[in-house]
Amino acid sequence: MFDVALWVTWPSLFPEYVGLVMASSAFAAVVSVMRSCGVYSVAHAAASTCDGSLVYRAFSVKLALCE
């Protein structure tokens, strides 16, 4: 289980999108929240396990548009 936050603009105090998802990895959790929110590009993404044992951060995440 991952707690995910997405910032469309960075730096910003608060994320534009947040989600709590079950995923196999932190990056998969970020992608899952991006897809569910209809967002294909974010300036900053963060995902952490609910117990805080893992924190993942990524900058300039872009998803490929599937037709």
- For position 66, what pLDDT does the model report? 72
Tens of each residue's pLDDT in the chain, 67 residues: 999 999 999 999 999 999 999 999 999 999 999 999 999 999 999 999 999 999 999 999 999 987 5
For residues 41 and 53, what is the distance between their CA atoms, to the nearest angstrom?
27
Q: Give the pLDDT confidence score for residue 65 in this predicted structure.
A: 80
Is this structure's pTM higher than 0.85? Answer: yes
pLDDT for the residue numbered 67? 54
Neighbours of 58 (CB within 10 A): 13
Taking the domains of the chain in order of start, what are their residue ranges? 2-62
